[in-house]
Amino acid sequence: MIGFPDVWWCCGWVSAGRRWGCCSSCCRGEEFVVQLQVALDVLDLPSALTLANRVSEFVDILELGTPLVKSAGIAAVTAVKAAHPDKLVFADLKTADAGELEADLAFGAGADLVTVMGVADDDTVRGAVAAGARHGKRVVADMIGVVDGRVERIRQVAELGVAFVEIHAGLDEQARPGYSIDRLLADGRAAGVPFSIAGGVKADTIGSVREAGAVVAVAGGAIYNADDPAAAAAELQKRIVS
């Protein structure tokens, strides 16, 4: 497992071209290594565990998608962490209010990473970060819903203490004709803070995610909609490091 919390900041700054040094656990000398996160976008715990079991050897982070948490409850986080204690478990709560309360709930259930919405009130973000500090865990700001002024807001939430920022186009946005991952990547490059990319990460785009300097690439449909999710995850892992 790649550890927390130092790795993120180190890699973030490395990825942003500010080489303050490189921790050997995530970087190979001067070569930056992106982590692979799979979004378990299913609606029940048995399906999530089945999918996680199939793909876990090829990914670094197991994400419980927002609909899964709402459907199955926070106990699903505990179950996934228990089944995969060597992986980072990411609870995509997309918290919009009561930041400390919701993050505390997820960290208490075993999450290593919890999302708060980038559109949320600054005090909501601060509350989630405070909960993370108490648990020795980290908060991610999900930028879904931030369209105008995204780069500026990314920098603001980074200042509030999140570990990194997920630049995210949702499923509904991706479903529109003409959708492209390129604007996400451009905003990541421009922001100059540690970021992940979610929204259209697949075999033929993951190379550009790496080149843009993301600390994490989040893949959902490219894995769970594949005929062979394990093979799809293995392919993404291969492309992320080569």
Task: Please report, as ranges, the residues that interact with a second copy according to CB under 8 A.
Answer: 43, 66-67, 69-76, 93-94, 96-99, 101-102, 105, 117, 119-121, 123-124, 127, 142, 144-145, 170-173, 175-176
- Say which residue the tokens 């799979």 belong to: 38
E runs forming strands in the chain = 27-28, 31-32, 35-40, 61-64, 88-95, 113-117, 138-142, 164-168, 195-198, 216-219
Nearer to a second copy, 127 or 192 (CB): 127
In angstroms, what is the minimal distance from the CB of 95 to a second copy?
A: 8
Nearer to a second copy, 52 or 105 (CB): 105
In angstroms, what is the minimal distance from the CB of 11 to a second copy?
A: 26
In angstroms, what is the minimal distance from the CB of 135 to a second copy?
A: 16
In angstroms, what is the minimal distance from the CB of 48 to a second copy?
A: 13
Q: Running DSSP on this structure, what letter comes out for residue 228?
A: S
Nearer to a second copy, 105 or 236 (CB): 105
Alpha-carbon torsion, ordered 161, 167, 170, 171, to 10 deg:
-130
